[in-house]
A and B are shown apart, each in its own frame.
Chain A
């Protein structure tokens, strides 16, 4: 299974998110340290779930990092995370 799909699957299983967008940003980092041919190194996750209610930013990120520990220990070199609870109105957009 491609890494992006595996990340989506694991986050869905762990957090039953009401919103989940997983992007493979590897092409943006081509040639940069940590990138490699074939990509699948740099990802961003935008996730909204009840599971994050009342959690601090660090706690939310730790929850995501733990759910994806295998990926982070393997080929995933960078993971940008926006994690929010539904009442936050979703993560801030830039």
Chain B
């Protein structure tokens, strides 16, 4: 299986996938940590994939998304953005709307 196929499988079989440095429990980078905090705050279930575990994955996701930096958030197979975009969307309430529109359950109210 190529790295592209692996990534495609992950983003298609999980509603919310975060490609990050470290794990949701132990983020190894402040930018990844910010996105983890936002998702946890919203009570969203997601799968964290640690790009530091695999050089193939680290390079593969950049090519797959045509996006040069980590973290990267996918919702229902669609690339949503990196740390700055996720934070801006969260602050504007847009991330909450997107999750709702896509039918992704979030525990916290969209405030």
Contacts and interface: CB of A to CB of B under 8 A. Distances in A.
Interface of A: 29, 32-34, 57-58, 61-62, 65, 69, 72-73, 78-82, 92
Nearest to B94: A57
Nearest to B28: A33
Contacts, number: 41
B21 A82 contact: no
B46 interface: no
For the complex, would chain B's binding face be called helix, strand, loop or mixed by DSSP majority? mixed
Give the size category of B's interface with A: 20 to 34
Contacts of B88: 57, 92
A61 B31 contact: no
Given A58-B79, A78-B69, 6 more contacts: A32-B30, A61-B81, A69-B68, A80-B31, A92-B88, A92-B91
A80 B83 contact: yes
Given A33-B21, A61-B82, A61-B85, A72 B29 contact: no
A80 B91 contact: no
Interface of B: 21, 28-31, 52, 66-69, 79-85, 88-89, 91
Nearest to B82: A61
Given A33-B28, A33-B29, A92-B88, A57 B69 contact: no
Given A65-B68, A69-B68, A72-B68, A78 B84 contact: no
Contacts of B91: 92
